[in-house]
Amino acid sequence: MGKGPSGQQLLKTALKVFREELLPELTEKKRYSGLMVANALGILTRQLNRNVDDQVQEESALVLLLEEQGSIESLHRLFAKRIRNGDFMTYSKTSIGAWEVLFKITQANVEESNPKYLEE
C-alpha cells in the first residue's frame, strides 16, 4: 500500500480545483487576490518539480567559472562581486562564458517564476 498522493500531486490537484472551480466564482474585487494565489501556487509547484540535477549543474558551472568552492549562495555573492570589480566586462572567452552561465541560471529562474515569459 502506497502513502497516497505526494505533496506535488496534491498541490497540482488543488491548483486545478482553485483555477477551474473557485477562481471563476470570485467577485471582481477579490479576483486579483485569487489570481495572485493561483500564481503563487503555480510557482510553488514548479519549485517542487525542479530537478535536483539542475542545481548541481548550476553549482558546477559557477565553481568552474570562478575557480572557487562554496555554497550556491556564496558562489552567487562572489560572482556578483567579481562582476562589479570588472572581471568579466572585456571581450574575452571568460567574459562570454560568464554571460552564458548567468543567462542559463536566469533562464531557469524565469522557468520557475513565469514560464510564459519565455514563450513571448
Partner 1 sequence: MIKDWPEKLQAFLENRVGYSVFVSEPSQLSGGAIQENWAIDITVAGGEWSGFHQLVLRSDAMSSVKASRSRIEEFALINQANKAGVLVPKPYFLCDDEAILGRPFFLMERLDGMAAGHKLARGEENPELLYQLGKNLALIHSITPPKCELSFLHDVPKDPAKEAIALYREFLDALQEPHPAIEWGLRWLEVNVRPADGVVLCHRDFRTGNLLVKNGVLAGVLDWEFAGWSDPHEDIFWFTAKCWRFGANHRPAGGLGQREDFYRGYEENAGRKINRELQVYWEVMAHVRWATIACQQAERNTLGIENSLELALTGHVVPELELEILSLTKEI
* Residues in 48-77 at the binding interface with partner 1, rule: CB under 8 A: 73, 76-77
Q: Does residue 62 contact residue 98 with C-beta atoms inside 8 Å?
A: no
Interface residue with partner 1, options 36, 49, 51, 97 (CB under 8 A)? 36
The amino acid that residue 79 corresponds to is: F
Q: Does 43 bind partner 1 (CB under 8 A)?
A: yes
Q: Does 10 bind partner 1 (CB under 8 A)?
A: no
The nearest distance, CB 109 to partner 1, in angstroms, is 4
Distance separating alpha carbons of residues 46 and 40, to the nearest angstrom: 10
Task: Name residue, grid cell 489570481.
Answer: 35
Interface residue with partner 1, options 22, 30, 48, 99 (CB under 8 A)? 99
